[in-house]
Amino acid sequence: MDRRSATAALLALGLAPLAARAQAWPARTIKIINPFPPGSPVDVVSRSVAQALEGGLKQTVIVDYKSGAGGTIGAGEVARAPADGYTLLVTSSSTHVIAPALRRQLPYDATKDFVPVAMIGYGPTVIVVHPSVPVNTLAEFVQFVKANPGKVSYASSGPGTILHLSGELFAHKTSTQLLHVPYKGAVPASTDLLGGQVQAMFDSISNASPQVRAGKLKALAVLTPERTPLLPGVPTAIEAGFPGLDFPAWLGVFAPAATPKDVVDRVAATLQSALVQQEVASKLMQSGITPAFTAGDAFRAKLAADQKLVADLVKVANVPQQ
């Protein structure tokens, strides 16, 4: 064997274990970190993702709950995990869009420490008003707010939450003034809305839809690109004539930075196949999640655009950082 052949043989021997490891993935249990408490929309998605990956990859997948600090504790753990494809994060835009704009310090860099794997769907925000408010459409609500600047109140689950920032986006895009009334959670906020103590709310579809169907609230529009199956008769804000009222309230999957591309692509492809299955799609929709798959460069571009949107909104609305 000449020197060139010998060198090639040695290289082949050196690369063989790496190739074997790549082909063997996944060779052991995959862990999904859910950075929010059980029962949340993220919980529904994380369990659906686990089931989809188990079926598609023929490997055990577990969900590990690491909640706290608005999801940033669990996200930070994934950022520090080995980039080997065995630790994934299922989260909402709260940890990767809102937290970077509002928190002075985070245990991770939302852009540099993660690889965006795939967006799974939207958790629609819907504009709802108390029946006493004399409006039936989004256009009428805008006119009503303009006629009563700073007097129309809306409840939220707390400062800096999606429900708060959705209201700030509405006020900014429609050149109106709303009175923000923050609560310690969505439940007390919606309770006071139902009681008429406040007039409006930018609520999650899962929380608001039962009250809308019961006639206890009026739904004016959803702040997503498409209508939601839970309230199919309610238009999007864009359909109602208000472009730009599309708040980034999505749920997606991330991996630690430097996770091999072939692993990321395989996870994304497996999830895409699962989302077209009626059983999976129905489970998500019943929980208020509109399935919508985006991966690769498209997801990275959306993430960057949403981060800029919320960062700019926080500055314009003078939302204090935490």
Q: What is the CA radius of gyration of the chain?
A: 22
Average pLDDT over the chain, rounded to whole?
91
Range 225-254 average pLDDT: 93
Sequence-distant contacts of 105-111: CB under 8 A, at least 24 apart: 106/72, 106/76, 107/72, 107/73, 107/75, 107/76, 107/79, 108/72, 108/75, 108/76, 108/78, 108/79, 108/80, 109/79, 110/75, 110/307, 111/303, 111/304, 111/307
pLDDT for res 10: 46
| pLDDT at residue 16, as a whole number | 46
Q: Helix (H, G, I), strand (E, B), or coil: what is residue 172?
A: helix
DSSP codes joined into one string, 236-268: BTTTTT-TT-----EEEEEEETT--HHHHHHHH
**pLDDT > 70: what percent of the chain?**
93
Q: In what order do the strands lie in the sheet with 114-122?
A: 61-65, 30-34, 87-92, 250-256, 114-122, 290-295
Residue 187 pLDDT greater than 50, yes or no: yes
Q: What is the mean pLDDT of residues 215-243?
A: 94
Query: What pLDDT, on a 0 to 100 scale, did the predictor assign at position 33?
Result: 98
More confident: 127 or 282: 127
pLDDT at 15 over 50: no
The 10 Å Cβ neighbour count of residue 60 is: 13
CA 21 to chain centre: 32
What integer pLDDT is reported at residue 13 of this predicted model? 52
For residue 214, the SS3 value is: coil
Residue 6 pLDDT > 70 = no
Least confident segment among 48-52, 123-127, 135-139, 243-247: 243-247
Q: What pLDDT does residue 2 have?
A: 53
Average pLDDT, integer, range 124-132? 96
List 125's β-bridge partners, or say none: 204
The predicted pLDDT at position 19 comes to 45
Separation between Cα atoms, residue 269 and residue 271, nearest integer Å:
5
**5, pLDDT greater than 70:** no
pLDDT at 39: 83
- Residue 9, pLDDT > 60, answer no
Q: What is the pLDDT of residue 286?
A: 86
pLDDT surpassing 80 at residue 4: no
Summarised one tens digit per residue, pLDDT across range 296-314 is 999 999 999 999 999 999 9
Peptide bond into 35 cis (omega under 30): no
Per-residue pLDDT, 41: 85
pLDDT of amino acid 20: 46
Q: Read off the pLDDT of each residue in 232-256 and give the average, rounded to a whole number.
A: 94
Q: What's this model's pTM, rounded to 2 decimal places? A: 0.87
DSSP alpha helices (H): ranges in 148-238?
162-174, 186-194, 205-213
Return the pLDDT at 287: 85
* Spatial separation of the C-alpha atoms in residues 115 and 56, rounded to whole Å: 21
> Which residues, other chains included, contact 45 with Cβ-Cβ below 8 Å and sequence gap of 6+?
90, 120, 121, 251, 284, 289
Q: Please tell me the distance from the alpha carbon of residue 162 to that of residue 65, in angstroms, as a whole number.
A: 21
pLDDT at 40: 83
- pLDDT at res. 295: 97
103: phi then psi, degrees, rounded to nearest 5? -100, 130
Please give the span between the terminal C-alpha atoms of the chain, in angstroms, as a whole number: 67
Would the pLDDT of 220 be above 60?
Answer: yes
